[in-house]
Amino acid sequence: MEHTRCLILGGGPAGFTAAIYAARAGLSPVLYEGIQPGGQLTTTTLVENYPGFTDGVDANQLMDAMRGQAVRLGADIRRGSVRPMKITIDAEKEISADTLVIATGAAAKYLGLPSEEKYKGSGVSACATCDGFFFRKRTVAVVGGGDTACEEALYLSTLASKVYMIVRRDVFRASKAMQDKVLSNPKIEVLWNCNTKEVLGDGFGVTGVRLLRKDGTEFDIAVDGFFLAIGHHPNSELFSAYLETDPMGYIVTDGVSSRTSAEGVFAAGDVQDPVYRQAVTAAASGCIAARDVEKYLIEKGL
Ligand code: NDP
């Protein structure tokens, strides 16, 4: 069986940064990218909030650069999906590892409509911080009634000329403080008791949303952007039987470290972060994980 000192799972900013640091520390890490090379970031186009790029950077270029940097420094990057209990790649290859860094990220929840899928990246987004800028002085809709939806709507209201919130019940799930901010914002209009039936478009981008009221009536609103904020789920299902996770499924880490409840297993990025979920914070936690791995290997004499 192949053996590595440091196995990293996940090909997003956290995984690649862990690989860069582990490779520079001489650990010859092996990284598996999984089914979405580049991670969630590649669902967007231009990244304008990653430091170091005056005019922003294309998300795929950024991830290719991180991957290339890790490879140049000696990381072994591979494709494959992991299955428990031993680390099994694509049901055929087994690897043993002295340390494991889980950087498998999180995934935004979508409604599951074909029209939503069609316009992903051209008007449909699950990240207002990533894509809100493209809707300056335009009209957008946010689906959801939780704290994330309120936060996204408030953020978008600083850019867009009008923000609809599509809420499926007649109450918010969000905290009172957040609700008050939304309800007192003149740019935000809440559409209560409404579900999205279809995202409307002209073949190139989003032009509106068809909504279904609880009483069975339908109506359309004209929007340029459609933002999902109905929650995220961490990609931790594979590990939840072996590691401590919180009630939402995020892997629990020890304080500011990346240490999980299992010795030699570390977690970085969105799979352990329900709060910040940014490329730059994921990259930073990848660095922390690699440093923790290094320290652990020295302590264990491995
Ligand atoms: P939540 O699970 O709290 O809210 C999800 C929202 O989306 C709910 O209003 C839910 O409606 C709605 N929803 C879910 N599925 C659908 C669907 N298929 N169609 C339409 N609407 C749907 O998720 P959040 O991401 O908002 O928050 C996650 C956690 O993070 C919470 O604990 C939250 O408090 C916390 N958080 C805190 C923040 C802060 O304090 N600043 C900021 C962001 C998050 P319904 O209510 O009817 O179920």
190 lines ligand 1 (CB under 6 A): no
Q: Quick check: is 131 catalytic?
A: yes
Query: Which whole number is the average pLDDT over 285-295?
Result: 98
In angstroms and rounded to an integer, the radius of gyration of the C-alpha atoms of the chain is 21
pLDDT digits 0-9 by tens, 164-180: 999 999 999 999 999 99
Res 86: pLDDT:
58
The 3-state DSSP class for residue 247 equals coil
Res 13: pLDDT:
97
Burial of 181 from C-beta contacts in 10 A (0-12 / 13-18 / 19+): middle
Candidate of 172, 190, 230, 277 to mutate for ligand 1, largest count of ligand atoms within 8 Å of Cβ: 230
> Above 50 in pLDDT, residue 85?
no
Residue 7 CA, ligand 1 centroid: distance in Å: 33
Q: By C-alpha distance, which of 176, 44, 58, 35 is closest to 105? A: 35
pLDDT digits 0-9 by tens, 263-281: 999 999 999 999 898 999 9
167, 190 Cβ separation under 8 angstroms: yes
Q: By C-alpha distance, which of 106, 123, 112 is closest to 44? A: 123
Cα separation of 236 and 246, whole Å? 11
Query: Which whole number is the average pLDDT over 47-54?
Result: 91
Q: What percent of the chain has a predicted confidence (pLDDT) above 90?
A: 82
Cα separation of 272 and 244, whole Å? 11
Q: Quick check: is 194 catalytic?
A: no
CA distances 131 to 57, 90, 122, 123, 228, Å, are 13, 34, 10, 9, 12
pLDDT digits 0-9 by tens, 63-82: 999 999 999 999 999 998 77
Residue among 55, 64, 130, 202 flagged as catalytic: 130
Cα separation of 181 and 183, whole Å? 6
Residue 297 CA, ligand 1 centroid: distance in Å: 40
Is the pTM above the cut of 0.85?
Answer: no
Residue 32 CA, ligand 1 centroid: distance in Å: 31
Residue 12 CA, ligand 1 centroid: distance in Å: 24
Q: Quick check: is 90 catalytic?
A: no
